[in-house]
Amino acid sequence: MTAIFIQIMVWIIITLILSRLLYILGITLYTYNLTDKRLKGFPSYRTPNVFLHGPVTSAASRLVPYPTPHAMVSACIYDVRRKSLRIQAKVPDSVYWSITFFARNQDCYFTLNDLEAKQKYGQDIEIILQKRGMAYKKKNNEIVVSAPRFSKMGLILIRIIVMNPSDKEEIKRIAKIQKMVITEVLGID
């Protein structure tokens, strides 16, 4: 009787462990597949590591229901499979600004906003994005970010929230700063 009980318990434990592993594997593969499909829909998918800049969003121009109002968004699909990427940006005054890195599984693994950027790094920031395990010797006040293990491709978003979207001069000033983002593929790998 106890031998049968032990066999049943072992079978139940193995079944629970295998079901949990298959669940985790299924969710992970589904998430990566979904993200890959979404990234392929971006205009910059064929030319990664280049930012595309959008205008100020409004209720009429939105593709996403209820986006952040008065936001100017720049997006870049990154690819650090072979080379690292240098991103240089200027943090504008008197508006909210943030840069966020998303992995292939949609996890946000790095974010920096205007207050933290200005306090720690100044008005001009420089970020080195590299694949995990790479060594990079800092030259200046660069921020070195390593992409997660299975996310050598992903998405970078820069968001700028304009306080008064009817101020055309302010929009022009912010759009000029928005377009000053420079990306450079580094030959250090």
pLDDT tens-place string over residues 135-181: 777 778 889 998 888 777 888 999 998 888 788 888 888 888 888 89
How far, in Å, are 45, 84, 147, 174 from residue 180 at the CA level?
21, 20, 24, 10
Half-sphere exposure of 187 (CA within 13 A, CB side): 0
3-state secondary structure at position 45? helix
Q: Is the dihedral of CA 36, 38, 41, 42 positive or negative?
A: negative
Which element (helix H / strand E) includes 96?
strand 96-102
What pTM was computed for the model? 0.76
Cα gap 113→4, rounded to integer Å:
61
Phi, psi of 157 (to 5 degrees): -120, 135
Contact indicator for 150, 32 with CB cutoff of 8 Å = yes
pLDDT class of 25 with cuts at 50, 70, 90: confident
- Range 47-186 classified under CATH 1.20.140: no
* pLDDT tens column, 109-135: 999 999 999 999 989 999 999 888 777
Q: Is the dihedral of CA 52, 130, 114, 123 positive or negative?
A: negative
Domain positions in the chain are 1-41, 47-186
* pLDDT at site 52: 82
